Amino acid sequence: MVNPSFFVSESNKPVYILIRSFLNDKFIGVLYGEIGVGKTYFIKKLLEEEFIHYYTYVSATDIENIKEFLADLYLDDYTVLVIDDAQNLSLDDFREIFKYYLTNKTLNVIFVGNRNLKQKLNSFKFKSIRAGLNFILELKPLQNFKEFEKFVKHYTSENGISVHFTKGALKYIYKKTGGRIKDIVEILDKLKDKKLITSLYFEKKKVIVPLIGTVALISGMSYIIVSEANKITKILKEKEKKPQKKVVDTKTLEKIQKIKEKDKKLMQIAKTNPALLEEKEECSEGSNILIGECKAATVEKSEKEIKQNKQSKNIEKPKVVNKSLQELNKLQKNNSKISSLKKVYKYAIFLGVFRSEKSAKKVAELAYKITGEKPIIKSTKENLNKVIILINDKEKLYKVLKALKKTKTFKDAYFRKGNFLI
């Protein structure tokens, strides 16, 4: 029987039931599946559901931390060690983990990986490892739109995401994600986090398509980065190609054509200088674009402003973002009213994820000695500790990464680009 608080698709119910039957007994097994299928989500929800309070989730790319965790394991509590990216483990790594598993009564292990993990275990070289496993199971993606729709309804309800999707919007998301849980959860979580993401919706003929942009609002200043304007245009063109049932007279057709031309001009303005669309004007009937409906006069006004500042056409997106970040930092330093606002960073270097806060602090201190940049330790809702270095300067980013990768401990450090707040 599947717990109603945990969504499991029909195709994955046998996997759920089998792993659940092993919990609270001693076991070691493998869960594999294609990238983005939701292996991490599945395992974490299953362990939380079974009230297993002490479990840790580590990556196989950081084998030294796994060994350190196992060496320090003197707990009497029932413990589950989940090793992600297990396809990267060598034969010796598997043997060492098996050794700890066999000598520690409270330790249980789940190896999680992609299809390469199964291929590795099927090879003759890993025959002895395969023989010692309790199970090797495959997790499959959502098999159809009906399962996808049920998952979205369940996830939004469980996480307090009050967003209503039309059928058209759901089909659009399903098509883009291919039913991969990881991608679906990422989109839904972005809609929940209103501090970082503003979800704009373009509505036409009852078809709603999410347009994800990043918005920072400080003292009336808005910086809007429009990321999917081209997709919206393409979708609308495809919709317009379909034959219309209603008969429309010539004057109405001319009026519609003028509105379309205005919308195209506004779309071009949005690409080159999004800030021009900040002001809300009264709107001509039917003229919908990005932030509300814009009066026809806005087009002429915006075109004049662009002509007066021709250089703005050549501004690259990274420069606009960089300028925005600099303005935010200046405002924080100079204005006491907003000095408490969070600082924005462009790059985040991820050093590792640890169950123990002590281990996270130890790694942070080591990274500080190597780079001179002080890392932060961020707690997740799974009670794990992420060690991150936040940087704004691209040159400094590569310098820090180079220094880290020279060491054995941080050879797998990686960075992501975005807007990171602390």
pLDDT in tens, 87-106: 988 898 899 889 888 888 88
Query: For the residues 287-295, what does the mean pLDDT come to?
Result: 40
In CATH, what number is assigned to the domain containing residue 45?
A: 3.40.50.300
Quick one: CA dihedral 276, 279, 280, 284, positive or negative? negative
What pLDDT is attached to residue 284? 40
What is the C-alpha separation between 419 and 212, in angstroms, rounded?
A: 14
| Band of residue 281 on the pLDDT scale cut at 50, 70, 90 | very low
Find the mean pLDDT for residues 185-214. 49
Task: Please report whether residue 121 resides in a domain.
Answer: yes
Residues 10-30 have a mean pLDDT of: 86
Q: Which pair of structure tokens corresponds to residue 104? A: 């520690």
Average pLDDT over residues 187-194: 71
pLDDT at 170 over 80: yes
Please state the rounded mean pLDDT for residues 221-239. 42
Q: Bigger pLDDT: 239 or 13?
A: 13
pLDDT the model gives residue 32: 94
> Per-residue pLDDT tens for 101-159?
888 888 889 999 999 999 999 999 999 999 999 999 999 888 888 888 888 888 888 77
Which residues, other chains included, contact 365 with Cβ-Cβ below 8 Å and sequence gap of 6+?
Answer: none
Q: Is residue 401 part of a domain?
A: yes
Share of the chain above pLDDT 70, in %: 57
Q: For the chain, what is the domain count? A: 2
- Of 116, 138, 160, the one marking the end of a domain is 138
Question: Which is more confident, 396 or 280?
Answer: 396
Q: What is the mean pLDDT of the segment spanning 10-39?
A: 87
Instruction: Give the pLDDT band (50/70/90) at residue 319.
Output: low
In a domain, 213, yes or no: no
Residue 170 identity (one-letter amino acid): L
Q: Which residue has the tokens 């369940």?
A: 154
pLDDT score, position 223: 27
Is residue 45 domain-resident?
yes
Q: How far apart are CA 422 and CA 416, in angstroms?
A: 15
Higher-confidence residue of 7 and 402: namely 402
pLDDT of residue 251: 65
Give the rounded percent of residues in the chain with a pLDDT score beyond 90: 9
- φ/ψ of 409, rounded to 5, equals -65, -40
Q: How confident is the model at residue 62 (pLDDT cuts 50, 70, 90)?
A: low
What would the pLDDT profile of 393-421 be if each residue is shown by its tens digit?
888 888 888 888 888 778 778 887 777 66
For 333-343, write each residue's pLDDT tens digit: 555 544 444 56
SS3 30: strand
pLDDT for res 112: 92
Query: Is 90 exceeded by the pLDDT of residue 166?
Result: no
Q: Over the stretch 363-382, which tens digit does the pLDDT of each residue have?
A: 888 888 888 888 989 887 67
Look over the chain and give the mean of its residue pLDDT values, rounded to a whole number: 70
Domain boundary among the residues 138, 157, 182 is at 138
Report yes or no on 102 lying in a domain: yes
In a domain, 352, yes or no: yes
Q: What is the pLDDT of residue 202?
A: 37
The pLDDT assigned to 209 comes to 40
Q: In this structure, are residues 287 and 294 in contact, taking their beta carbons and an 8 Å threshold?
A: yes
Could you give the 3-state DSSP secondary structure of residue 242?
Answer: coil
Give the dihedral of Cα atoms 151, 118, 44, 36; nearest 10 deg. Answer: -40
Please tell me the predicted confidence (pLDDT) of residue 136: 93
Look-up: residue for tokens 């598993």?
101
The residue range of the domain holding 394 is 342-421
Residue 312 within any structural domain of the chain: no
Please report the pLDDT score of residue 385 as a whole number.
84
Q: Assess if residue 284 is contained within a domain.
A: no
Please compute the mean of the pLDDT values over residues 269-289 and round it to a whole number: 48
Q: What is the mean pLDDT of residues 52-66?
A: 61
Nearest to residue 383, comparing CAs of 413, 348, 362, 353?
Answer: 353
Decide which of 138, 164, 194 is a domain's last residue.
138
Domain CATH code at residue 371:
3.30.70.1070
**Residue 154: is it exposed, middle or buried by C-beta count within 10 angstroms (0-12/13-18/19+)?**
middle
Calculate the CA dihedral of residues 59, 62, 64, 66 and round it to 10 degrees. Answer: 0
Handedness of CA 58, 62, 64, 67 (dihedral sign): positive
3-state secondary structure of 287: coil
pLDDT tens string 67-79 = 676 666 655 667 7
